[in-house]
Amino acid sequence: MKALSLLVAAAPIALATPVTAQDHSMHNMPGMTMPAKPAAKPQAKPTAKPRPPARTKAKPAPKKPSPAPAAAADPHAGHTMPGMTMPDAPTQADPHAGHVMPDSAAVATPANPHAGHDMSGMAGGMSHDMGTGGTALPPGNAPAPAAPKPNYADRVYSPQEMADARAILRGEHGGSTFWQVNFNLAEVQIRDGRDSFRWDGEAWFGGDINRLTVKTEGEGEFGRSVDDAEVQALYSRAIGPYFNLQAGIRYDFKPNPSRTYATLGFEGLAPYWFDVEGALFLSDKGDVLGRLEGYYDQRITQRLVLQPRAELNFAAQDVPENGIGSGLSDIELGLRLRYEIKREFAPYIGVSYDRRLGDSARFARADGEGVGGPSFVVGVRTWF
């Protein structure tokens, strides 16, 4: 009974023991410093509420913005670890605070997503410095750098050999001199037992812009002399990608008396691939003549080509001694089908209609000559 009485008496004493006697903190560990406990704030005594005045309604006071909630206490505050430095705690304003990055790196941004990626250790030694040429130029308004010169062959060949090679290269890519001889018509015309021949061609020598052009055309009957023959020497100047302006002189050997003309004309490739020519002629006697001609090459196959052709001659006045009447003096309409054995050599067959008109026909009849008509033609188109 006595032992039971002692246990009952000791129970209140055991319950009254302070909880702080059970010290599980680490403030006694070496190198750890615990902060001083904050002093307890004295509780403010509640003040008596004032009684509102009788029969008066108080206006509601404006609501004050509620203060921001206090930040949670840092559970690691005051823990001093030997040999360890704690970075600044990140905040909402700077979420990257305390993140120590290498000196050579920067924070990646949408404009530069590769910033902060240190690739110096990658195989091959990749570097962000790609040079100062091409598209790797820094931004700004500086003039473009000079283009590099491909002088690698200079390490092998002598300077003279390289100079000769570059001169040939420049000549082949512009500024070269070319030449060509082209006979668009060289044919025999079969017409009512009065067979005749005809030619029409030109040759030129020069470059892409300036050329010397020589044109010739004529006709005659077999067994008789040449009826008409002319030659033109022209300076040809390119006035566009497809047209040349021409100026020079024309000399007529036949008919007699011969004439010399100042010539101004054009030659070129019109839209839809029509070859056209036109010229005005002023003779040494004051006669004014004109000519317009054109043709079109319609390819049926790679070798078979159909060529319609037209030529019209005009005169500002009558020239009786040469059998030329004013107005539209004569026309020639033709349709020829050629086969290109080679591009440079193509025989053809076709039909042609030649006719003198107006006073030109009257002058021909007076001289006992025909005024023209249809004919069957056989010829060859060639160039070299």
Summarize pLDDT for 269-293 with one digit per residue, the tens: 999 999 999 999 999 999 999 999 9
Out of 30-39, 147-156, 192-201, which region has the weakest mean confidence (pLDDT)? Answer: 30-39
How far CA 378 is from CA of 60, 82, 195, 221, 360, in Å, comes to 119, 114, 11, 15, 27
pLDDT at 176: 80
Containing 166, the helix (H) or strand (E) segment is: helix 159-172
- Contact present, 373 and 354 (Cβ < 8 Å): yes
Res. 369 pLDDT band, cuts 50 70 90:
confident
- Contact present, 276 and 270 (Cβ < 8 Å): yes
Report the number of secondary-structure helices (H) and strands (E) in the chain.
Answer: 3, 13
Res. 90 pLDDT band, cuts 50 70 90:
very low
What are the phi and psi torsion angles at 364 (to 5°)?
-65, -45
**132 or 334, greater pLDDT:** 334
- pTM comes to 0.59
pLDDT at 100 over 60: no
Average pLDDT over residues 63-92: 49
Supply the mean pLDDT for the chain.
Answer: 77
Share of the chain above pLDDT 70, in %: 64
Res. 24 pLDDT band, cuts 50 70 90:
very low
**Going by C-beta distance under 8 Å and a sequence separation of 6 or more, which residues neighbour residue 290?**
278, 279, 280, 281, 313, 314, 315, 316
pLDDT at 127: 42
**62 or 363, greater pLDDT:** 363
pLDDT at 324: 94
Fold topology of 179-383: Porin (2.40.160)
Average pLDDT over residues 118-137: 50
Out of 126-130, 198-202, 253-257, 293-297, which region has the weakest mean confidence (pLDDT)? Answer: 126-130
Query: Would you state the structure tokens that stand for residue 3, as one six-digit string?
Result: 């032992």
As a whole number of angstroms, the distance between CA 241 and CA 208 comes to 9
Residue 278: what residue type? G
As a whole number of angstroms, the distance between CA 292 and CA 355 comes to 15
Q: Up-side HSE of residue 25: CA atoms within 13 Å toward CB?
A: 14
As a whole number of angstroms, the distance between CA 276 and CA 267 comes to 6
> Whose CA is closest to 227, among 376, 368, 375?
368
As a whole number of angstroms, the distance between CA 170 and CA 383 comes to 27
Res. 41 pLDDT band, cuts 50 70 90:
low
Q: Give buried/exposed letters for 203-216 (b at 16+ CB in 10 A, else e).
A: bbebeeeebebebe
pLDDT at 54 over 70: no
pLDDT at 32: 52
**147 or 319, greater pLDDT:** 319
How far CA 140 is from CA of 110, 133, 137, 143, 270, in Å, comes to 22, 14, 9, 9, 47
Tell me which residue has tokens 């700004």. Answer: 140
Burial class (CB in 10 A: 0-12, 13-18, 19+), 348: buried
- Contact present, 182 and 193 (Cβ < 8 Å): no
pLDDT at 15: 47
